[in-house]
Structure formats: structure tokens, C-alpha cells
Amino acid sequence: MIKRNAWHAEGYYSNGCYEECYESGCWDASEYTTEELRGYGYVVDESTRTVYNKPNVTVFLEGEYEVYQKFDSESEASEWVDDLRRVSGKDFEVIIK
């Protein structure tokens, strides 16, 4: 959680609201609740007050096609990739960002 300045409460704000505030309405921004963030598909670790994107996998195919999948856990994402490797008989380059 970050307290933006003297007149804003601690909370999770949009990334642009931490910058020099060139976005319109940025000065009047309100913080997101934990429930709102979870509703938008983020994972919130309340013990460290950190917000994460859900684990996801993108498989790039020929012809500029791609398959994108979000998961609730890293183990679920790894299992999906392992199953894809097994079923397709292909190996994949894994890039972790």
C-alpha cells in the first residue's frame, strides 16, 4: 500500500496515479479495494500488501496466431504446459517475465 500524499488515503491506485499525474482525473483518483482488485483478476497478498497478475501462459503458433490462458496458480499453469507438451509431442521455450 502506498500513501500517495497528504490528502490521499493508503491504498492500491492505478499505476499512472503514482507518476507525475498527466492523466485526467488522476488527482481525484480513489484507491481500489482488495475485492475490486480480485474482481479484476489480480492476486492480492494482504500480508505483504502486494498485487500480482495471475499466472498466465502464451503459446505462439505459426502465422502469428497465439493461445493465451490465465491460471489461478503457478502449479496449474505448469501442469497445463506439461500436458500440452505431452499431447503435442513438442517442446517449448519457456520465457518467464
pLDDT at 73: 87
Single-letter residue type at 59: V
DSSP 8-state symbol, 72: S
For the chain, how many structural domains are there in total? Answer: 2
pLDDT attached to residue 1: 46
As a whole number of angstroms, the distance between CA 55 and CA 76 comes to 9
The reply to whether 9 falls in a domain is: yes
Same structural domain for residues 36 and 60?
no
Q: Which amino acid is at 13?
A: Y
Please answer whether residues 43 and 51 qualify as being in contact, where contact means their C-beta atoms are separated by less than 8 angstroms: yes
Q: Decide if pLDDT at 12 tops 90.
A: no
3 — pLDDT class (breaks 50, 70, 90): very low
In tens, the pLDDT along 19-55 reads 555 555 555 566 778 888 888 888 888 888 788 888 8
Domain identity same for 46 and 14? yes
Q: Give pLDDT tens digits for 60-85.
A: 888 889 989 999 888 999 899 899 99
- Pairing mode, strands 56-60 and 42-45: unpaired
Residue 72 structural domain: 56-88
